[in-house]
């Protein structure tokens, strides 16, 4: 027997569905956004597992402030660069990070910043976090791009693993030019990185006021560098 014809949605039901979809889209667009970028080249392998765990701290810190949408970016290997969709579920982000492995290759900070500028022109992120230990590109080029990020009100929070003096000099300049902040950590101070990430997440979710409301040393370190 032929199947009975499906009931067609009424004009009112269709309009209700469209309004609901529009409302959901508007909520997503209003979520504070943070670009979370990581150097996934071979030199980072010893601390990669730690980095994967620490991202969860960012969400726990902002749970009482706002829902934070995060885009995970990383580079590795031969010219490989990845940027996820915007995620507001910490479990999804954790699963995504746990699926990534490090692979030998050169840094691609220039490519990362160009991607961030493109995103900023359409999505308006509150901040970009970068965790890395090396710079194999022209310092003038990355500093110029950092300045462009500053013009678009995208502060860079650069966390350097290790103690390479030239990397520190450039990262500090990038942070200053963008209106962001710089800090250094090593494998023995993972808790420091966790606290710093939490402070940046608070800033991304609630702005400078959210950062000023905390009394942690990490918040004070970042506040001391941020533009008024």
Q: How far apart are CA 28 and CA 118, in angstroms?
A: 19
Domain range list for the chain: 33-223
When pLDDT is cut at 50, 70 and 90, the band that residue 55 belongs to is: low
User: How many other CB atoms are there within 10 angstroms of residue 177's CB atom?
Assistant: 20
pLDDT digits (tens, 9 = 90+) for 186-219: 766 667 777 888 888 888 888 888 888 877 888 8
Take residue 126 and report the two structure tokens written for it.
């509150």
Q: How far apart are CA 107 and CA 28, in angstroms?
A: 32
Residue 27 has pLDDT above 80, yes or no: no
Maximum average pLDDT range among 4-18, 175-189, 191-205: 175-189
Does the reported pTM lie above 0.95? no
- 33-223 CATH fold: Rossmann fold (3.40.50)
Contact 219, 207 (CB under 8 A): no
Picking from 93, 94, 68, 154, the residue whose alpha carbon sits closest to that of residue 119 is 154
Measured distance between the N- and C-terminal CA atoms of the chain, rounded to whole angstroms:
74
Place of tokens 């003038």: 140
């Amino acid at each position: 027997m032929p199947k009975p014809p499906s009931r067609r949605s009424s004009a009112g039901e269709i309009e209700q569905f469209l309004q609901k979809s529009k409302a959901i889209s508007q909520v997503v667009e209003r979520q504070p956004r943070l670009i979370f970028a990581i150097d996934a080249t071979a030199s980072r392998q010893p601390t990669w597992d730690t980095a994967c765990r620490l991202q969860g701290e960012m969400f726990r810190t902002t749970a009482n402030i706002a829902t934070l949408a995060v885009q995970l970016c990383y580079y590795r290997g031969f010219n490989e660069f990845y940027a996820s969709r915007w995620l507001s579920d910490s479990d999804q982000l954790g699963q995504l990070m746990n699926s990534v492995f490090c692979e030998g290759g050169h840094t691609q900070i220039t490519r990362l910043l160009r991607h961030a500028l493109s995103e900023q022109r359409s999505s308006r992120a509150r901040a970009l976090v970068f965790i890395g230990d090396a710079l194999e590109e022209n310092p003038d080029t990355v500093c110029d791009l950092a300045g462009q990020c500053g013009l678009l009100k995208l502060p860079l929070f650069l966390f350097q693993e290790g103690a390479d003096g030239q990397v520190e000099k450039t990262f500090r300049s990038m942070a200053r030019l963008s209106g962001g902040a710089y800090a250094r950590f090593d494998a023995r101070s993972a808790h420091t990185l966790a606290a710093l990430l939490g402070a940046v997440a608070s800033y991304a979710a609630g702005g400078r006021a959210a950062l000023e409301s905390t009394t942690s040393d990490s918040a004070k370190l970042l506040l001391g560098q941020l533009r008024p």
